[in-house]
Amino acid sequence: MSLEELRFAVVGCGSIGRRHIGNLLALGIRDVIGVDTLEARRQDVERTLGVPTKSSVEACWTWKPDVAVIAVPTSLHIPIAMEAAQRGCHLFVEKPLADRLDTAPLLLSLVEEKRLTTLVGCNMRFHPGLMRVKTLVEDGAVGRVISARVEVGQYLPDWHPSEDYRQGYSAQAALGGGVILDAIHEIDYARWILGDVSSVACFAAKLSDLEIDTEDTAAILLRFASGAIGEIHLDYVQRAYSRTCHLIGDAGTIRWDYTAGDVVWYSARTRTWETLRNPIGWQPNQMYLDEMCHFLRCLSGLERPTLDVFEAARVLEVAIAAKTSAREQRVVELEAGAL
C-alpha cells in the first residue's frame, strides 16, 4: 500500500497532536483524522486544519486507520497503542513510551507478532545541533568520551501559557507526569550519542512551590557501558529556558547550546575552537517535520526507525531506574538486553 492510500489517525489533539496533524498535511498526507474527547480541541482542528475528528478512540477504530499517531497523556500511551496494534496499525507514539516498565513487553510482543513499523517521538534526535554532536563523536573528533553534562530546565507554567499548568499531565503523577519522564529527551539523546547505560543513581523531588504532585527537579548520574560517566539535570523551575550539552573527550571538548543555536568544538590536536551554527532560518518545527518525514520513509521501507518501540523501552528503563534510585536511595544496575 502506498503512502497516499494510508489512513492516519492522530489520537490526542493537544499542542503536539495538532502539530503532527499540520505536519502530516504539509508532507502531502490527506487521509487524516483527529481524535479527542474535548469538543473545543476537535472544533479547533476542524476549523483551522480542515481535518475531520472523532470524539472517542472507539469511533476512531470504526474508521479503520492504517497508522495511529498517539499524542495523549503518557499513562495512556500503552493502552491505546495496544488497541491500535491489535488492529494492525503502524504506530507513532509520543515520548516517553509509557509511565511504567511492566506494560511495555506486551506491546513489544504484539508489534513483533504483527510486524508493525513503529517510531517513538523524540524530536531532539532531529535537531541539527545534536545531529552534529553525534557525528563529531562518531568521527572521533574529541577522542574517547570520558564524561557528559546534560541539562534542561524551564518553568512549567511557561510551557503552555494559555493553559492552567495544574491541569496538564506534567503536573499529575497519575497521568505519567514529572520531569524525569517529561524530559526524557535528555536521557534519550545521551544514550543515543554515548551508548547503553549500565547503572543509574538519582536524587529527585518536588522542591518548588509549584502546585503539582510530581518531582520538579532531578539530578541523574549515569555510568555508560563504555565506562563514560554522565550527569543529567532536569527541572520545571528555571525561569529562563536552558538546554545544553557538554561532552569531554580525551582529545577535545564539545558544547551545544539550544538557545544560542551553536555547537562549539575544541580539538586538542590543533588547539583551536570551531563553531557550527544552526542552518540560517531554522525553526523548531523543522525537527518535528523531519521526524514525521522519517516516519513516512520508514513506512515506505526506505529507512529504519531511529527510535522504535524496542529502543524506546530501553530508554524508559533508564528513566524508571532513575525514579527507583531516587525513591529507594540506591544505585540501580541495568542488565544488558533485559528488554
Q: Are residues 94 and 149 in the same domain?
A: no
Q: Are residues 261 and 299 in the same domain?
A: no
**What pLDDT digit, counting tens, does each position of 103-146 carry?**
999 999 999 999 999 999 999 999 999 999 999 999 999 999 99
Domain holding 56: CATH number?
A: 3.40.50.720
Instruction: Report, as an integer, the average pLDDT of 22-51.
Output: 97
In a domain, 72, yes or no: yes
In a domain, 99, yes or no: yes
Q: Are residues 104 and 151 in the same domain?
A: no
- Whether pLDDT at 1 is above 80: no
The better pLDDT of the pair 202, 161 is held by 202
**What pLDDT digit, counting tens, does each position of 242-284 carry?**
999 999 999 999 999 999 999 999 999 999 999 999 999 999 9
In a domain, 39, yes or no: yes
Q: Are residues 141 and 185 in the same domain?
A: yes
Report pTM: 0.95
- Whether pLDDT at 70 is above 90: yes
Q: Could you give the CA distance from residue 77 to residue 177 in angstroms, rounded to a whole number?
A: 13
In a domain, 46, yes or no: yes
Give pLDDT, residue 331.
98
In a domain, 338, yes or no: no
How many domains is the chain built from? 2
Give pLDDT, residue 337.
63
Q: Are residues 270 and 295 in the same domain?
A: no
194 Cβ contact list (under 8 Å, min separation 6): 137, 145, 148, 224, 226, 228, 230
Question: Which range of residues forms the domain containing residue 210?
Answer: 127-278+314-333
Residue 168 contacts residue 248 (beta carbons within 8 Å): no
Q: Are residues 323 and 177 in the same domain?
A: yes
- Average model confidence (pLDDT) for the chain? 96
In a domain, 138, yes or no: yes
Q: Are residues 195 and 87 in the same domain?
A: no
Q: Are residues 166 and 262 in the same domain?
A: yes
Residue 138 burial (10 A CB sphere; 0-12, 13-18, 19+): exposed
pLDDT band at 338 (very low <50, low <70, confident <90, very high): low
Domain holding 259: CATH number?
A: 3.30.360.10
Instruction: Tell me the one-letter amino acid at 270.
Output: T
**What pLDDT digit, counting tens, does each position of 179-192 carry?**
999 999 999 999 99
Residue 246 contacts residue 202 (beta carbons within 8 Å): no
In a domain, 283, yes or no: no
Q: Are residues 108 and 233 in the same domain?
A: no
Q: Are residues 119 and 170 in the same domain?
A: no
Residue 151 CA to its chain's centroid (Å) = 15
Q: Are residues 97 and 190 in the same domain?
A: no
pLDDT band at 160 (very low <50, low <70, confident <90, very high): confident
Beta-ladder partners of 35: 11, 54
In a domain, 247, yes or no: yes
Q: Could you give the CA distance from residue 160 to residue 107 in angstroms, rounded to a whole number?
A: 31
- Whether pLDDT at 168 is above 90: no
Give pLDDT, residue 336.
76
Q: Are residues 169 and 186 in the same domain?
A: yes
Q: Could you give the CA distance from residue 319 to residue 325 in angstroms, rounded to a whole number?
A: 10
